[in-house]
Structure 1
Amino acid sequence: MTESNVVKLPEAKAKAEEAGKAVVDFAREHPGLIVAGGVALGLVAGALLSRGSGRKLARHALTLAEMAGTASVAFGRQAIERAEDAGEGLRRQGEALADKAGKLKAPAEDAVDQASDAAQRLLHKAVELAGKLRR
């Protein structure tokens, strides 16, 4: 039997969960204080940033938004093209199936007619046999 000199540390996960619950509980109990703190942080950040940096940041944000919009349009066009291609392929397959079904229609109708004639002949024979058996 070997002994270990490793000491178990308290589980960090449990402590993190407890800390998270404490923060959530605090926010639920003091929502006004949370909002006031957010406003204060915004004011401090605004005071620390120069006017030019705020405008520069806004220009960068606008540029990123324009890029995202352009990418969205490009992706949308690609999706439309792919959908149209898929629809065209499905239309061709549908036409081929309709052609095959059209070619099978006449033989199927002939088979139904022959089966109907055979059923009528069988019925007549059955009636004939039934009449002979009654005599």
Structure 2
Amino acid sequence: MLKFTIPEMESFLKEVFPQVEGMFGIDQMDDALLVMRLFNDERHLRPGGTVSGPAMFSLADVAAYVATMARIGPEALTVTTHCSIDFMRKPEAGRDILAEARVLKMGRSLSVTDVLLFSEGSDQAVAHASLTYSIPPRRD
């Protein structure tokens, strides 16, 4: 059962991460899948007109964070403890990057999320990431 609706999550992100406002959007958020997008613009490009690795890493990281928050509620101090990312092909120029995030394990202290990144309109992944988040202990 999710603890946020999409509008509630967008408000939460605006509050805890104002520095990324306008960079990402949530297309889908349910028990099985989170789909987020990186709004591709000039600030995310590197020479050659491709989306930079740091921009794609940010999308994967934020998607895993949102997928975790959606399940545990507003725990802003949940932090990344591990990320592995493989860049597999060049993203298509001028298209948003979509992240499909699936929570593989949700424990009391850790969550593990698998994230595939795609150029919008393509079914070939441009990157694959695996992320682990540390969840703060509950104060009951």
Tell me the TM-score normalised to structure 2 length: 0.18
Rg (Cα) greater in structure: 1
Higher strand share: 2
